[in-house]
Amino acid sequence: MLSRVADSLYWMSRYLERAENTVRLLDVTMGLMLDTNNANDETRWQRMVAALGRPTKLAWSGSLQEMSRKLIFYQVDASSITFCISAARENARQVREEISSEQWQRLNRLYHHIHSPNAEAQFRSSVSEMLASVVDGIHLFKGTTDTTMIHGQGWQFIRLGRYLERAYATATLLEVFQPELFQQSAEERTGHLYLELVGLLRCCTSFEAYCQVYTADLSPDRILEFLLFNRDFPHAICYCVEGAREAIEAIQQSGGRRAPGELSAAVGKLHSMLIFTTIGEIIAGESAEFLHNIRAQCLHIHDLIYRYYVHYSIQSALSA
C-alpha cells in the first residue's frame, strides 16, 4: 500500500474519532451545566477545553450558546466538530478508490449535513438532537466501514487510527478529571461529585458498562480501573492499545512494509504496562504521572508509525 494512502486512511479515522469525542464531551458538559450547585459554567467549560487539548480560541465568553456554536461550526481548532469532519472527508476523497461507495456516501452525507442550514436550525432548536445526529452519522460510517470494506491493510490502518486516537483521548480525559475527582476521600465526596463521576463515564459512553461490572456504586478508584484496564470495553485504554497492537501486527503479516522492532516494542511496552499494573499500584503512586506516561507513549507510537510507514526514506524501504 502506498504511504499516502495509509496516511489518509489513518487520519480519516482519527479525525472521525476526534469528532465523536468532541461531541460527547460537549453534550455531557452542557448536561452538567444544568446543575448550578457547587460548580460554575466556566469551570466545567475549561475542564472540557483541557480534555480537548486546550484550543486557545475556545476561552469562556460567558455564553454557552455562543461557545457551543463555535465548537461545532467554526473551524477554530483541530478539535472542532466541523473541522474534524471536513478533514476526514478530505482524506477520504484523496483515497476514494480505496474505500467503498457506501463509505463515501455516508461520510459525504455527514459532511453536507454539518455544513447545511438545517444543521444550524437544528442547533437553535435542540443542541442535543443536533449532536446526536452527528454521532449517528459517525456510527453509520464506522458500521459501513466494517461491513463493506475488505479487511486488509487499509482497514487495519483505519483501526489503528481509531484506537490510538481513542486511547490518547481517554487518557487525557482521565488526567484532566484526576485532580478534582480522584484525590477526594469517600467522606469528602458529595452529590455534586457523584454527578461529575457520572459525567466522566458518559464522556466515554461507559456508564451502563461500568454498572454491569461494578454496579451503580460509583467509586473513583473503580472508574479509573475500568477505563484503564478493562479488556472487554471498547473505550477502555487497555482495549484500545490491544487493538492498535493487533492492527500493526496484521499490517506486517499481510505484506505491508515490516517495521523494525522499535514500533512493536513501543506498542508492546504500553500494552504490558496496562496488563501488569494494578490499580493499587497506581493509587499508591502518582496516577497523574501514570496517565501522562500513557499519553506520551501514544505520541511516541504515532511518531514511529510515521517514521516507518509514511515518511520513510527510499534506502530504508529497499532494505526492508
Q: Helix 153-181 and helix 41-51: axis angle, to 10°?
A: 140
Do 31 and 199 meet the contact criterion of CB atoms below 8 Å apart?
A: yes
Give, in degrees to the nearest 5, the angle at Cα 35 between 132 and 171.
Answer: 60
- Residue 115, pLDDT score: 94
Residue 115 makes CB contacts below 8 A (sequence gap 6+) with: 82
CB within 8 A of 193, min separation 6: which ones? Answer: 180, 181, 184
Residue with cell 477505563: 227
Instruction: Print pLDDT tens along the chain (320 aa).
Output: 789 999 999 999 999 999 999 999 999 999 988 876 656 778 888 899 999 988 777 778 778 888 899 899 988 788 899 999 999 999 999 999 999 999 999 999 999 999 999 999 999 999 999 999 999 999 999 999 999 999 999 999 999 999 999 999 999 999 998 887 766 655 555 667 888 899 999 999 999 999 999 988 888 899 999 999 999 999 999 999 999 999 999 998 876 555 568 999 999 999 999 999 999 988 877 888 999 999 999 999 999 999 988 876 544 443 44
38 touches 180 (CB < 8 A): no
Going by the DSSP 8-state scheme, the letter that residue 98 receives in this structure is: G
Distances in Å between the Cα of 136 and the Cα atoms of 18, 21, 106, 143 are 14, 13, 10, 10
Residue 154 φ/ψ, nearest 5 degrees: -60, -45
Distance CA 52, CA 172 (A): 8
Q: How many residues does the chain have?
A: 320
Cell numbers found for residue 53: 487539548
Chain-centroid distance, C-alpha 158 = 13
pTM above 0.85, yes or no: yes
pLDDT of residue 317: 43
Q: Mind spelling out the 3-state secondary structure of 51-74?
A: HCCCCHHHCCCCCHHHHHHHHHHC
Predicted pLDDT at 258: 57
pLDDT of residue 190: 61
Please state, in angstroms and rounded to a whole number, the distance separating the CA atoms of residues 111 and 241.
29
**Which residue is associated with the grid cell 504521572?**
289
User: CA of 284: how far to CAs of 170, 273, 277, 278, 288, in Å?
Assistant: 21, 16, 12, 10, 12
Contact 34, 56 (CB under 8 A): no
- In which residue are the cell numbers 454521532 written? 135
Please say whether the dihedral angle defined by the alpha carbons of residues 308, 310, 314 and 320, taken in this order, is positive or negative. positive
Q: Where are the domains of the chain?
A: 1-148, 151-320
> What pLDDT, on the 0 to 100 scale, is given for residue 179?
80
Query: DSSP letters of 25-40?
Result: HHHHHHHHTT--SSS-
Instruction: Give SS3 for 199.
Output: helix
Q: Would you call 193 exposed, middle or buried from its count of C-beta atoms within 10 A (0-12, 13-18, 19+)?
A: middle
